[in-house]
Amino acid sequence: MDNNAQAENMINKGGPGSLFLCATPIGNLEDITFRVLKTLKEVDLIAAEDTRNSIKLLNHFDIKTPMTSYHEFNKYDKARVLVEKILAGTNVAVITDAGTPGISDPGEELVKQCRAAGIRVTSLPGPAACITALTMSGQETRRFAFEAFLPSDKNERKEILTELQNETRTMIIYEAPHRLLKTLDELKNALGGDRQLTICKELTKRYENSVEFTLDEACAYYESNEPRGEYVLVIAGKSREQIKQEERQQWEAMTVSEHVQMYMDAGMDKKEAMKAAAKDRGVSKRDIYQELI
């Protein structure tokens, strides 16, 4: 069976239905896929994050499929209702206000309940602000950590920022305009003012923009320029060399003799202790030997 034939048979009538996670544009309506349009027209029900917002999208593409609300504040109870409908034969598509369901948007809980019930779940790929920003940022793309919006709880937020201090992967964070400056200031305090980042806003829209800053520069800029639009921060990870250098500096407060003795007290013989201390300090074992003499 070729790919086109598989796509034709995705929505089955009779028996249990399926759940379709449909990615919708994050700004530019031309980014919607043919497959998503076809699916939204053929399913029995569309679960939308905000029906008032989604009706504009459906009307634009002349989609008449009934909608029901599925959002952050009803995600548990409504998921159970939708699971019952799907088991009874209803094919359901999930859409959010923008982007891919489940990526910093409702969808995750419904997927969990559907999979627990043995319901077929498929995701129709399309726009995601995090990937769009990452690929255009100029930051490293091979390894990245998606943090979405930082938690609003102060203690949890502090813990996350502490964890990010030694993160070597590129970090992606979403932020609203009214909280942008506060978040940048917190990131500066946690990661250092010289940390590089790219700030992207209004992705795929008319006023799309991406600018490279240090965190110091970003804070200074937005103190005098009011943030407007939705922002994605793509932040460079900490270099491994910097981490090693900081680890070495920690040992400088201890003499070489104390350093070696620390390992000997832990059960190492002198030769092993010298080797371990040399590794910590980024020097040769011969250097340690000479220092001890």
Query: Which tens digits make up the pLDDT trace of 101-147?
Result: 999 989 999 999 999 999 999 999 999 999 999 999 999 999 999 99
- Identify the pLDDT of residue 42: 97
| Percent of residues, the chain, with pLDDT higher than 70 | 95
Across 116-130, 218-232, 236-250, least confident range: 236-250
Whether residue 13 is found in the same domain as residue 95:
yes
CATH number at residue 114: 3.40.1010.10
Whether residue 233 is found in the same domain as residue 265:
no
More confident of the two residues 276 and 188: 188
CB 233 within 8 A of CB 170: no
- Identify the pLDDT of residue 82: 98
Whether residue 110 is found in the same domain as residue 204:
no
Write down the pTM of the prediction.
0.81
Q: Residue 119: name the closest of 94, 95, 89 by CA.
A: 89
CA distance 231 to 221: 14
pLDDT at 1 exceeding the cut of 70: no
Whether residue 17 is found in the same domain as residue 123:
yes
Whether residue 73 is found in the same domain as residue 113:
yes
CB 237 within 8 A of CB 173: no
CA distance 16 to 100: 24
The residue out of 98, 127, 156 marking a domain boundary is 127
Q: What are 7-39's pLDDT values in tens digits?
A: 444 777 777 999 999 999 999 999 999 999 999
Whether residue 140 is found in the same domain as residue 200:
yes
pLDDT at 4 exceeding the cut of 70: no
Whether residue 8 is found in the same domain as residue 120:
yes
Q: Residue 251: name the closest of 274, 281, 228 by CA.
A: 281
Q: What is the mean pLDDT of residues 90-95?
A: 98
Q: Residue 234: name the closest of 162, 169, 152, 189 by CA.
A: 169
The residue out of 127, 145, 173 marking a domain boundary is 127
Whether residue 252 is found in the same domain as residue 174:
no
Domain with 46, as residue range(s), is: 3-127
- Identify the pLDDT of residue 36: 98
CA distance 129 to 105: 11
Whether residue 227 is found in the same domain as residue 173:
yes
The residue out of 74, 105, 127 marking a domain boundary is 127
CATH number at residue 161: 3.30.950.10
- DSSP secondary structure, 91-110, as one string: -EEEE-SSB-TTSSSTTHHH
Q: What are 171-187's pLDDT values in tens digits?
A: 999 999 999 999 999 99
- Report residue 46 as tokens: 């569309």
Q: Residue 86: name the closest of 26, 19, 143, 148 by CA.
A: 19
- Identify the pLDDT of residue 5: 44
Q: Residue 175: name the closest of 185, 162, 163 by CA.
A: 185
Across 7-11, 30-34, 213-217, 268-272, least confident range: 7-11
- Identify the pLDDT of residue 287: 75
CA distance 126 to 100: 7
pLDDT at 252 exceeding the cut of 80: no
CA atoms within 13 A on the CB side of 141: 9
What average pLDDT does the structure give for the chain?
91
The one-letter code for the residue type at 146 is: F
Whether residue 19 is found in the same domain as residue 106:
yes
DSSP code of residue 27: S
> Which of 51-57's residues contact partners 24+ apart within 8 Å by CB, and which partners?
53/97, 54/24, 54/95, 54/97, 57/24, 57/25, 57/29, 57/95
Q: In which residue are the tokens 């759940």 written?
A: 19
Whether residue 122 is found in the same domain as residue 134:
no
Crossing angle of helices 215-224 and 180-191, in 10° steps, is: 160
Q: What are 200-211's pLDDT values in tens digits?
A: 999 999 999 999
- Identify the pLDDT of residue 9: 47
Per-residue confidence band for 289, with pLDDT thresholds at 50, 70 and 90: low
The structural domain count of the chain equals 3
CA distance 32 to 37: 7
Whether residue 102 is found in the same domain as residue 155:
no
- Report residue 176 as tokens: 């609203």
